[in-house]
Structure 1
Amino acid sequence: MSFADFILFPFIKFVQLMISFVDSCPPYIYIEGLLEGKEVLNDDEKDDEKTVIYISSKRVEVDPYTFGILMIGENLRIRSTRSYRAVSIDRIIPEQGPV
């Protein structure tokens, strides 16, 4: 590790922390519509999997448990951060009940 890396590493981590903090603060984005699709994205660099859903042509990142529970075609209302990570997901049921 060079001297420049030694100096820049804490600064880069601090900037990443601040970006994450600002992203998690309101105002949140509300998305409403039908669940169009589900996908697992692999990141080769980090050996990490992201689970995402597509609702109203927007890609929203969700946790693996929620990913498994949701069904394509459900009517949903999602509150998400600025970087489209789901904060809350509500199922919308019509007034007359399930059809």
Structure 2
Amino acid sequence: MSFATSHLLLAASAADLVAAHPVEEGRVRPHRTMDGDGFKIRTLVMDAGAVLRQHRAPVPILVQVVSGRILFRVDGVEYDLTAGGTIQVTAFEPHELEAVEPSHVLLTLMG
């Protein structure tokens, strides 16, 4: 990360973001990326086969796949998301993520 008074560079590329947080065998690992006024960004690093079991967020979320492939399940629907895939979910909606291959996912909690 590069700090300046008016902005903050989190990563110059998807490759930089991926390199900053290596995949750990068999794990789902959240990393605090940034906390701002009214939002939080986390990088979720998931090994192939790892599952973030059904849960709810207390605020609306935006989930963006940076690398890899995940299955995102919400409201009885399964979405197959790859790099660039993005989904928004309302607060308190049960959802689940499963990594089909090693994956990096940006999670933005809005609120």
Larger radius of gyration: 1
Higher RCO (CA 8 Å, separation ≥ 6 residues): 2
Of Structure 1 and Structure 2, which has the larger fraction of its residues in helix? Answer: 1
